[in-house]
Each structure stands twice: as structure tokens, then as C-alpha cells.
Chains A and B, each alone.
Chain A
Amino acid sequence: MNTSLSWIKAYVPDLDMTAQEYTDAMTLSGTKVEGFEETDADLEKIVIGQIEKIERHPDADKLVVCQVNVGTGGIQIVTGAPNVYEGAKVPVVLDGGRVAGGHEPGQRVEGGIQIKKGKLRGIESDGMMCSIEELGSNRDMYPEAPEHGIYIFPEDAEVGADAVEALGLHDAVFEYEVTSNRVDCYSVIGIAREAAATFGKKFVPPVVAETGNGEDAADYIQVSVENKELCPRYCARVVKNIKIAPSPKWMQRRLASVGIRPINNLVDITNYVMEEYGQPMHAYDLDTIAGRQIIVKTAADGDVFTTLDGQERKLDKDVLMICDGEKEVGIAGIMGGENSMITDDVKTVLFEAACFDGVNIRKSAKRVGLRTDASSKFEKGLDPNNAKAAIDRACQLVEEMGAGEVVGGMVDVYDEVREPARVAFDEKKINRMLGTDISKEQMIAYFEKLDLTYDEVTNEVIAPTFRQDLHCLADLAEEVARFYGYDNIPTTLPDGEATTGKMTFKLRVEQVARDIAEFCGFSQGMSYSFESPKVFDKLLLPKDSPLREAIEIMNPLGEDYSVMRTISLNGMLSSLATNFNRRNKNVRLYELGNVYLPKSLPLSELPDERMQFTLGMYGDGDFFSMKGVVEEFFEKIGMKGRRTYEPKADRPYLHPGRQADILYDGKLLGYLGEVHPQVADNYGIGTRSYVAVLDMPSILGYATFDRKYCGIARYPAVSRDISMVVPKGVLVGQIESMLLQRGGKYLESFELFDLYEGAQIQEGFKSVAYSVVFRAPDKTLEEADVTAVMKKILNGLESLGIKLRE
């Protein structure tokens, strides 16, 4: 929504402040001004001058030398403008002044252009005569300006006067952000009412007198509404003997100032009233209306209708149409039809000001694919009582401008009259809600500024129908707060029962995950929750993989963002690829983000959102560095029990020989491995990369922050080294299981200290050496204790086909 300051001042004549002051105050009282443009911002030292004499330039065919009276004396100006003549009154920028831009449209220069005395082809020029574009405006606002050349003032212009003033360019255009609840502020009058209340000035809305001749519109037109719920009110008036002509300059300027191109008196009046009252109107050529009747009803599925822009529109049974006795003549609230549009030889006009259901208009506009100025106003849900005011105002303007002869009376289909809302008032509650101490009288004074009235008898505030946003006490509290000033409300802190600040257990575990990952050199990345269904192929998932059962978004931004991820690897691998392509070395990333697993498809309940702790890396480090991060994490969240790594994980996106499922107490918690070279190729990662994924909900059941001190060993340990020749197929994990299984109660720890395959070792075998430590909590171990256990261990190892090294 835009308005010019001068248009606002038409209804609040006493306003007197700068554009910036207006912006700040209006914003603080709830009518947010997004920005403004001062139309005179770059105009300086520009007066009305009169050309007294024109001579040819001695050295340039296209230039002339003008003697110009600028009130304070005569100056000489050289110009190339084609339209100057002796006696013409023109805007003249004096030496040192500024203009807004070049002389063609759209040539505005930030900060303007300074004009200085100088010589043009050897002849002194003391200033410059201006085109309307140089004055920062355009021919939409000043249609009398020539297409090329200097702006010429009317003959009665006062020589020496401020030219910017004479043009009405000491003005500013404001852009507002109107909130959806304040439908009334999508009109100049609505904004003006707020401005008057904000600055405490008198609000003077237009006074609409009785209009029309002695005839009755009902003799010209009949109206019936079939879908009352979609059209609560339909007002129709008739104007005959139409004289199409340009509208007056003041109206053209106001329309142009808010970006509406003036067309002719009739079109301009409907546009003007739409801006002024916020009520869209439509004008039909009454002679095209068959049977002199208007029927408001919905279209039929498959109807095709040509709107006045010449486009064919496909309709359906939910689109409300304006029809005559035979045919459709307009899409209600959106656009009229080509078949009933006003042409230059129109004789009689039917004015329509109606109230349509906002939701229906919004949805229809969308389906029909046509959002217009009118529909964007209607879709907010308009006040039916405003329709009559607007149509009368339009007829008043027709009479004032001599655009035609207004027929008396109005055809009005309005069954359920909307009444003002009554809201119970309670100043104590309002003060409690706001934390203020404002008197009842003061509150009522605020309401009255806004045309709300207070009913002393019922202790209610009566909100006129244009204020559709006032229903309950909280709404009144906001009105009080706005005009008391949000800034003046004190600041306190809530008292009452103390509460404990805390994080959920899940969030605490996630925090540890971040700490550990970062400690291990991984930086946190974030990727989108939705991705392309092609991801599944990129990850080599088989066609029947349950991970392909992803939730689809009905209206995605595109295929690339169309399914909710069921696996967290795509984001990680894409990020690694980005880094690889940018030649970043040694990249380690982690992400904590959800995957979304549907319980069934199509979705009938919310999916299982599972937080995944995903790690990815390339560069320094290998599978076992990744494994280390996993173990550090487990230890930090108190998971010291037995974790195992199952090598036959069969995950297609990982290297078949370098992957493992991570189990804890036999339960699957996640997996890790080297990225399959084919997958790495698919993503464009040209080096070995590793990933680990931990399913956080599975981990939460095991994680704990409870710790218990269990003493520091006081008795000496006994350590034994076992050097073995192990068949290649036997995993180190099997040896460790054996150690645990047979190590007895004194087994304290064991550590792999050598692993070797090669020359000195028999083909098909590897050399493995462990150091095993025994300790008793309550005594010094004796040789016999250890020997017995060691024997059991060695026997066990032998059963795996392991031989002791000589």
C-alpha cells in the first residue's frame, strides 16, 4: 500500500511534519512505513522563468540561446529543447541548483545532478530549463508535459516562484506494510484516519452528498444474487450520457503517485475510489448487458471466459461470475469481461461496488491465474458497508467532473446487514494485561480518535464495521497500547513460581556429540531435510530398499527438494564433494539432523523423526580414525559396555570390505565405513572418504551421565604378552572376544601391540601380538593365578586355529 503525503493531507489538513517524522510516528503506532521517497529530494534552486527572447546559436544548428526572466533578473540559457517559444513559462534550475536526472524517462540519478554555469559551444549558459523527467517525475503524473522537451507552465504561473511548489512536487510517497488484520488500512482514508489519531489532528474524510437525477437506477437494471454467501452485498448505480475525457490533473497526479496510470475520467474514478476507500469497483457498458439484468452466480466447470485483457480464462464451478440475462460479463472481484467493457463511445455505464467472499476470491484468482489490484483487495475480506460509501463517492466524482449524468437511486442486494461489533470493556484488566496504569478516560479518548465509541450504559466499546479486527478485550488492549505508546509501557520481569532452566536429556547428549566431534577435528555442517529422489540411485540403494519409502512433498520447490530424507548420507557426501571440488584438504564434517521415516505411506500419522549423528571425512585418517571418534563419543556418554563391529553389513553405499555395523549389547546403533568408490564417483569425491552414522534415538537408551568412582588399583599388575600366528580369516575382534570370555575376573585390560602380514609370515596367516594385563583388587597376584588363566586363554585361541609364535 502506497500513499503520497499530499493525499493524506487532503483528509488531515493540519498534518505538519517531515517525511521521516511521519514514518517514525506511524510505525510506532502500528502503521508500519517501509520507506518513503521524497519527490523533491534532489531538486534545488528551481524557479519559474519566462522566456523573453530566443536567438539562434551562432555555432550550433541544434541549439538556441534564450533570455529568461527568473523574477530576480534575466539570465541567459542555451538549450537544445525543440519546444521552447518566446513567452513560455518554464522551470529553470539556477546556477548551483540540482535536478533529479536526465531528460529521458528513467534517467534518475542517485543524489541528483548539480547544474553549474558554463559555456555551451562558446556561449554562456547560466542555468538550465527542465523537462518533467529532469524534475524526477513522469508524464503519467504530468500528462500535459511534452514527450520531448521542456515542461511548460500555464500562462498564469508566477514568474520567479518556486517551480517545485507550483508542480506540487514538495511531496513524499510512503510505502506501508499493512498487516492482514487491518483491511481498512488498504485505503488512503484508512491510513489517514490512523495518521490523524497518531498526530492528534482532525480527520476530515470526504463528505459525500446526495447524487443523481430524479430517475431511479432500478428502472435501468435488476440485480439478483444466487450465491449470497459468496456475495454478501451488491450495489449498482447507473450513469448516463457519459462524456469520456481525461480526468482532472489533481486526480491523475494522485493516481500516478501511487503507481496507477491515468486512462480516462471513468476508469480513473473507479481506480481513485478503489485507492481512496479501499473498495474495488467495476464499470460495465450498460448497453451490452442483456436483459438489463445482473445475476451473480458461480460458473460451470469447463466454462471459458474472455477477460477484458483479451485472455481466455478457464473457469470452474467455484468461480463466482457476474452474468447478464444471457451470458457471463465478468469474473466477480477479479476482472471484467471483454464483452461488456467500456469503450470510448460508451453511453451508459453500470457501476458495481460489491462485497465478495475473500477466501473464494483468493482461491479463484489463483486457479484462474489472474491476480489483479481488485482481487488482492477483495481477498482480504472487505466491509460490505463500505461498498455503498464508495459507489456514492464515485457518483459524486462523476458529477463534479462532468463525466456523465448520474441516475438517482441505487440497486442494493444486501440481506444480512453487518452490524458494528460490541466489545466488553474493562480498564483494570487492560492495565493488568499491559502492566500499565492508564486511566479509563485516557483509554476512551484513544478509542474515540479511531472512531470507536464507548457505550457507558453497557460498558462496551463499539467498533465500526470497517474495523473487522476488534473482537475481544485483548484487541482493545492493543489499541490502548498503540496510542499510549509501546515505548511508554514499563519493563519488568515475570515473577511468580520459580522454574528450573534445563535441557532435555536428548539435547545434552547431542551437545556431547558436538563436543566430541569437534575435539576430533570435525566441523559442523547443515544440510536440507528434503532432497531429490535420485539420491537413492546415487547411493546404489536396491529398488526394494525400505529407504526408498520416502515422504513426498505435495508442492516442492522442484524435484531436487521433493522427498524427505530417509538417510543422512546424501547431505554429507554432497558437502564432502563441495569441499573436494574446491580443493580443500583434510576435510572432516559432522551433522546432527533428522531423517524422516514414515510409519506407512501415504502418510496418515507423523513420521518417525530420527536424529542422525553423521560424520564424514577425507584426507588424513582412515576407517580407524572414524572408529575412534565413535568410541570417544560412546565413552563420553557413559557407554562403556561392550560394543561390537559387525563386518558383514551389506550396505551398498559403502566399500564391501571396509564397513561395519556398530552394535552395542547386540543392538544396532549405526554403521561406519569407507564410501564405495562408485558412490564417491557419483558425488565427485576423487579420494577415499569415510563416513559414520549413529542413530541417536537408539543411543539415548544406553547413554548416561551417571558416574561412579571405583577406586584406583593398589596392588601390582601382572602383564603377559601373547604373540600369535593367526589365520587371515580370523578377526582381531574374535581374539578380543576370546580374551574377554576366558580372561577371568583378574583380567584388567589388553592391548594390540603388533599386527603384521608379510615376508616372514606364512601365506594365509598374520602375526598378531597382544599385551594382556591382570590385576586383583585385593591382593598381589601370584604366578599360579595368572598361569591358569593364560592356559585357558591359549587353549581358546588354539581352537580358533591360532598358533603361538616361537
Chain B
Amino acid sequence: MKDRLEQIKKEAIEAIRVSDVPEKLNDVRVRFLGKKGELTAVLKGMKDVAPEERPKVGQMVNETRAAIEQFLEETKTKMERAIREERLKKEVIDVTLPAKKNNVGHRHPNTIALEEVERIFVGMGYEVVEGPEVEYDEYNFEKLNIPADHPAKDEQDTFYINKEILLRTQTSPVQARVMEQGKLPIRMIAPGRVFRSDEVDATHSPSFHQIEGLVIDKDISFADLKGTLEVFAKELFGPETKTKFRPHHFPFTEPSAEVDVSCFKCGGKGCRFCKGSGWIEILGCGMVHPHVLEMCGIDPEEYNGFAFGVGLERIALLKYEIDDMRLLYENDIRFLKQF
């Protein structure tokens, strides 16, 4: 019996050794270990073995089975590994072949710039609100301290629908609308489309975008306005950016200022972008005129605040070095895809 088992083991190992594909290994398993396999046959022959011998023989059969199984497993693992390696070798690809892209679309540079600005101010606790583009004269002018006969109301700048209704020339009317609602304090920005009667050329468009900012609270100072816009400029144009506040005049703010930032192309040394001055004008701002507060139902003795207005196209043109404003409204895909 022992010899028989030795013989089976030897044959099995030999059969495993000559197997060259996993299928043959499987045949070996069936032939030796299967239900009708040779080892099973040996076990079936146990009835002819003397009872006292049976445990010993049983153990010998199990040992033989284990030995065959182990070798079978080892060989199978080796074989599979070899096969995988062979396959991997064949599967080499040229990784420099072109990518399969989803061809995602691109956002308009105006919107990219706007989202930058929104991100900065939302982070500082400002709410983003909107107002109508077709607006009452009252909100666009009167409530902003621009009375009936003010030169700024001249038809040459403003598109009128009729005597009372016009296309807003600025986003500032949103200030008046928000203040009138009377919910204080206010921290808001209002982006949107505005209209001026300018012929289309490289630097003008009859339709463009502004972002209005307004803060109304107790004890707001010009220093707060400076600090806020300084943060804004650094966030938008980089931490090295310097700001310069120059006195200016707007009917709805007093004191008023125009703000220059140090040229982000040359860092202030002077280049073609800043026309050699080292500075670029980006916005107008000021402390909300007490008369404007009054007209909007806010007591200027208790509350005050500041406002600012930024030209969105101006920022987009500067930031992305776009040299012709007309490109923004042509929608040539070769232009849009660059953003």
C-alpha cells in the first residue's frame, strides 16, 4: 500500500511538472484527487486493509494528498504569475497617443473675473444680490444724489426708454434698493449688466458689467473702506499689490476716491500695461453721502457706510491681457477656449 501511494505521488508530481497550461493542472487534479481519482480509489480500497492498519494508511493517504495538493498549488501560482507577466508584456501601450477628452466648455472671462470677486467678498461676509437692468430714473439717479438737471443724466450717456425708465448706467441703483429695504447692517455686492451710450470700439461697449459694493453699519470709517479694498486688491491681483487712493468726486459718496493698484505686470516699475505709470486705475469708491442715506430712509446720524464700484470688463481685460473689448461679445470659440 505504501508503495502504491509512493507511486501515485511520484506519478502525480511528474504529471504536474509536465503540465504547461492551467487546464492540464486541472486534469492532474481530477486524475489524482478527484472523486474518481486515483487517491480516492486507494481510499475505496481501505476495506481490504486490516482494521488496525487503517488509521495509519489513512494518514499516509492524507499526507500524499497534501503533498500533491501543495505542489499543485505552487505550480499553479507560478504558472499563473508567468502567464500574467507574459500578458502584461504584450499589453504595453503608447502613452503618448492623444487623450480621449470630454471637451468640456469654458467659462467667459467676465464670469471668471466675477466669480473671483464674489469669492473674495462672500468670504468677507457679503451677500451677492441683483437688481433690475431696466430701471427707474429715480433709482439710477435721483436717489443717488444726481438730481434732474445733473450733467451725468445727459442723454448722451444714458439710454432712455421714456422719461421715467431707462437702462441703468451703473449698478449703484441696487444700493438704493437694498438700503430702502431697511435691513441693517448691510454688506453686499451687486454684480450686473449696465448700459452707456458709447459706440463699440476696442475700449468701449454700450453694454458692460459692474460690481457694486455697499457696507452700511454703525461707525464705518474711510479707514475701513481703505482696508477692505486693500484686502480685495491683494486677493485679486496678488499679495504684493499696493493700492493708492486718489480724491475724486461722485455725487453719491463723500469723501470719494478713485483707487489705483500697483501694476501687476511690472510690479509698479512702469510698463506698457500701466502706460509707464506703475499704477492701474480699477475702481471708484467713497463714504455713502449722508443725503443718499436719508433718501433711502437711513438715519445718517446713526448709520453710515461706504460704497464702491468696479468695472468687470476692466478687470477681465487687465487680468487676462485682452487687448480688444469687442472680443468679449463676439463669442468666437477660439477666444473663449483660452479661459
Contacts and interface: CB of A to CB of B under 8 A. Distances in A.
Interface of A: 27-30, 32, 179-182, 359, 362, 379-380, 432-436, 469, 472-475, 477-478, 481-482, 486-487, 489-494, 496-504, 506-507, 514, 517-530, 551-557, 561, 564, 575, 578-579, 582, 584, 586-590, 593-594, 596, 602-603, 606-607, 609
Given A181-B249, A497-B217, A518 B193 contact: no
B108 A503 contact: no
B207 A529 contact: yes
A557 B206 contact: yes
A524 B288 CA distance: 35
Interface stretch (B54-62, B65-73, B82-90, B115-123): B115-123
Contact of A501 (B110, B122, B224, B336): B122
B333 A502 contact: no
A434 B134 CA distance: 35
Contact of B246 (A27, A379, A493, A525): A27
Interface string B97-136: 0000011111110110000001001111111111011111
Interface residues of B, number: 83
A2 to B, nearest CB: 19
B37 interface: no
Interface stretch (B6-14, B21-29, B45-53, B252-260): B252-260
Given A472-B291, A527-B331, A557-B200, 20 more contacts: A433-B222, A434-B222, A435-B224, A436-B223, A477-B222, A487-B244, A489-B226, A489-B245, A494-B220, A499-B187, A502-B127, A503-B128, A518-B105, A519-B104, A523-B108, A525-B331, A555-B197, A584-B334, A596-B133, A606-B132
30 contacts: A28-B247, A30-B246, A180-B249, A362-B149, A362-B151, A432-B219, A433-B287, A434-B221, A435-B226, A436-B223, A474-B290, A477-B255, A477-B287, A489-B245, A494-B224, A501-B122, A502-B128, A525-B108, A527-B329, A529-B167, A552-B161, A554-B161, A557-B199, A586-B103, A589-B333, A589-B336, A602-B162, A603-B161, A603-B162, A606-B136
A435 B223 contact: yes
A501 B121 contact: yes
A558 to B, nearest CB: 9
A375 B207 CA distance: 30
Given A179-B249, A493-B224, A520 B330 contact: no
Top 5 A-B pairs ranked by shortest CB distance? Answer: A435-B223, A435-B221, A30-B247, A525-B331, A179-B249
Nearest to B110: A526
Nearest to B209: A526
Interface of B: 102-108, 110-111, 118, 121-130, 132-136, 149, 151-152, 154-155, 159-162, 165, 167, 185, 187, 193, 195, 197, 199-200, 206-207, 215, 217-224, 226-228, 230-231, 244-249, 254-257, 287, 289-291, 304, 328-334, 336-337
* Most interface-central of A500, A552, A555 (chain B CB within 10 A): A555
A362 B124 CA distance: 44
A433 B225 CA distance: 11
A555 B159 contact: yes
Contact of B125 (A30, A487, A500): A500
A491 B247 contact: no
A608 B333 CA distance: 31
A555 B197 CA distance: 9
B185 A497 contact: yes
B159 A556 contact: yes
Given A524-B105, A524-B336, A555-B159, A496 B219 contact: yes
Contact of A180 (B152, B207, B215, B329): B152
B105 A517 contact: yes
B126 to A, nearest CB: 5
Contact of A596 (B134, B151, B217, B333): B134
Contacts of B152: 180
A802 B39 CA distance: 63
A361 to B, nearest CB: 11
Contact of B111 (A379, A475, A524): A524
B321 to A, nearest CB: 19
A167 B166 CA distance: 54
B134 A432 contact: no
B254 A518 contact: no
A494 B105 contact: no
B221 A526 contact: no
A135 to B, nearest CB: 25
B332 to A, nearest CB: 6
Contact of B231 (A433, A493, A504): A493
B255 A481 contact: yes
* Most interface-central of B105, B152, B337 (chain A CB within 10 A): B105
Given A496-B185, A499-B125, A607-B134, A524 B223 contact: no
Nearest to A588: B105
Contacts of B230: 491
B179 to A, nearest CB: 15
A100 B221 CA distance: 50
Contacts of A28: 244, 246-247
Contacts of A524: 105-108, 111, 336
A587 B290 CA distance: 52
Contacts of A523: 105-108, 333, 336-337
A511 to B, nearest CB: 8
A474 B247 contact: no
A557 B160 CA distance: 11
